[in-house]
Chain A
Amino acid sequence: MDQFLQHVINALSLGSIYALIALGYTMVFGVLQLINFAHGEIYMLGAFTGMYTIRWLRLEEHPGIGSLIIALIAAMAASATAGFIIERLAYRPLRKSPRINLLITAVGVSLFLQYSGQLVFGSDPQFFPTGILELEGYNWSYGDLVIEPMQIVALVLALILMFVLQYIIFRTRLGRAMRAVSFNHDFASLMGIPTNQIISATFMLGSALAGAAGVLVGLIYPKIDPLMGTMPGLKAFVAAVLGGIGNVTGAVLGAFTLGLAEEFLVGYWVPTYRDALAFGILILILLFKPSGLLGVHRAEKV
């Protein structure tokens, strides 16, 4: 029983990581119908920005929630800037071209960032300074069951960000404009909505989320390298499709489903198929329910 519960806890923590990345994925897709394959790399940039900020400002000497917030803000700002630049230089010139061109460009941007990352940061894995939060040794345990504080932080943050996004999309002017652009780009423009700015804002918001995820993942799994975004990026994409791409709640639901499925597959059955599972799910969902778990209500789309 303890083992089963431990698996559930592990799965929720893994799911919250996927959720944090999937939120940005799904939001950009919702507005642009563009699968931004560079999203995983923006997450990587966030992790590295966080690491360098902590090193340069010597935040490890002042551990606490304040240091975490500084690192988070730096990472989110850098990621948002990167997102803005990528959209401006790579995607905007192609907005009127066929969808496939954009998709190929996105893959290109992703590879460009992976290899530039190796050039700039070096490709050996680096240690993410976990010392900014003094949490080691503060695990809660009940018998064999162990819960780490960072797991709770990631879970709570994923849920909070989901509600914040939900609020922005459905309760603010920006959100209304985003939904209008998503519904019909040309009409929105005719209604006086500055579509370019809205799209930029969407990209920046999505990228900032990825940046925050980068820092949190760095704290939980303190090994970061320039290729770290590839697999989580793809998994988050699967999670977003599973939940119904373009749907914020769906992304979180999909991420937790994927986390649970992976955890139980690895824990009780064949660990080798971990990555195959995610893509197996992708194929199945595209075959049988392409709109995803929560994708039925078209009105709920961003």
Chain B
Amino acid sequence: MNMRLVTRVTLGFAVAAPLAIGPNIEAQAAEDFIKIGEVGSTTGSEATFGVATHQGVDLAIKEINATGGIKGKKLKVILLDDQGKPEEAATATTRLITQDKVTAIIGEVASSRSLAMAPIAQQYKIPMISPSSTNPKVTEIGDYIFRVCFIDPFQGFVMARFAAENLKIKRVAILRDVKNDYSVGLAKYFTETFKKLGGDIVLDQSYSAGDIDFKSQLTAIRATKPDAIFVPGYYTEVGLIARQARSLGIKVPMMGGDGWDSPKLLQIGGKAMEGAYFSNHYSAEDKSPHVQAFIDRYRKAYKDTPSGLAAMGFDATMVLADAMKRAKSLSTSDIRAALAATKDFQGVTGRISIDQQRNAVKPAVVLKVVNGSFAYESTIRPG
């Protein structure tokens, strides 16, 4: 205790100047670890998101530590569960910053929760990297907020282009989750691009997360005879929606976004999911050596094929570690600057460059459900 106090005081003098910038530099200097906070929904109805992401993060941390860590220090991740609630995510962020004194934060998957966390990270000037929140508003909160995934305008663009150019369809009905920023945003961007490409949105219906009966919306959709239904929701509801659509005799394909990425989708939706398309961050069928190597290491650690979210968690951590290595010092402002300068970082989910708006610019893949698994269908690049 005494020794620590002495160290702290001495170090406090030594780094008196940078102290004015980051409040927690002093604490870091006294530690052997670089602490990284992670906020995720490891329980709650979207537990798949938090658990998969954390497995990716954990694997990355282990690999970085095995190769000697960063600037002579090992990384340590502190995971807090937010139960899938924005208010819990905000509390967890405050706790990570003020009590655990983390250097950077990884989180969240869901845009509504990242939006609750970002103002806090920005206020304390702690770099925050969202692995897979795709709503554009997230990084607009401030210059300390980054992401390693593409954003919804792009994801909406991808599915709209895929529908118009690959599937060659003209009439699409939308069924969005009004409780979810991600879903509402994605529906909006899909509509914009699809109309520009000459398509027609025949009906725009909505539901609320947690609903189990979608037959009234689907009956209304059926009457408009669309060529496809765009359901940019989470896997929790999409499985039931697909089932009910099929039992109402709707045979057209369903389309969605990366919120579908969970084995539960296939479990709950069963045969009804066959032939559905969704955009995602990566495909496990990608034959690139670095992707297959990642899949091998992930399988060894967790006996499971990594989902897109696990790959994003891995990439978020790797991008952060890369920035920390390049940063002049481990002060939060130097790490921020290094993150902003990330260019052509080879991640599992593609080459990642951070743009002016602190978003990642990279291609998206479209997956198709075939015989109860996600098969690679197409890659769509920005622009």
Residues of A within 8 A of B (CB): 3, 6-7, 10-11, 13-14, 118, 122-125, 127, 136, 139, 141, 144, 146, 148, 217, 221-223, 225, 227-228, 231-232, 262-264, 266-268, 271-272, 274-275
Contacts and interface: CB of A to CB of B under 8 A. Distances in A.
A223 B43 contact: no
23 contacts: A6-B222, A10-B215, A11-B216, A14-B215, A118-B43, A118-B44, A122-B43, A123-B43, A123-B45, A125-B45, A125-B236, A139-B247, A146-B248, A217-B212, A221-B212, A221-B213, A223-B240, A228-B212, A263-B216, A271-B205, A271-B207, A274-B207, A274-B211
Given A125-B264, A223-B212, A231-B211, 5 more contacts: A13-B215, A14-B215, A118-B43, A146-B248, A272-B206
A228 B216 CA distance: 20
A158 to B, nearest CB: 15
Contacts of A228: 212
Contacts of A225: 45, 236
Contacts of A262: 216
Given A127-B267, A144-B249, A266 B217 contact: yes
B216 A267 contact: yes
B220 A122 contact: no
Interface in B37-52: 43-48
Contact of B264 (A127, A227, A271): A127
B378 interface: no
A7 B219 contact: yes
A146 B249 contact: yes
A127 B216 contact: no
Contacts of A144: 222, 249
A275 B208 contact: yes
A136 B274 CA distance: 15
Nearest to A226: B45
Contacts of A232: 212
A59 B216 CA distance: 32
Interface residues of B, number: 35
B54 to A, nearest CB: 14
Interface in B219-253: 219-220, 222-223, 236, 239-240, 243, 247-249
Given A125-B268, A127-B268, A268 B249 contact: no
Interface in B272-322: none
Nearest to A266: B216
A7 B206 CA distance: 16
B210 interface: yes
A47 to B, nearest CB: 11
A28 B222 CA distance: 41
Q: Which 3 A-B pairs have the closest CB atoms?
A: A266-B216, A267-B216, A124-B47
A221 B241 CA distance: 10
Contacts of A223: 212, 236, 239-240, 268
B213 A14 contact: yes
B178 interface: yes
Contacts of A271: 178, 205-207, 216-217
Given A3-B219, A267-B216, A268-B220, A124 B268 contact: no
Nearest to B248: A146
A140 to B, nearest CB: 11
Contact of B216 (A7, A148, A275): A7
Nearest to B204: A271
Contacts of B211: 231, 274
B220, B239, B264: most-surrounded residue (chain A CB, <10 A): B220
Contacts of A123: 43-45, 47, 83-84
B174 to A, nearest CB: 12
Contacts of A264: 216
B210 A267 contact: no
Nearest to A128: B268
Given A10-B215, A275-B208, A222 B243 contact: yes
Nearest to B179: A272
B46 to A, nearest CB: 8
Contacts of B213: 10, 14, 221
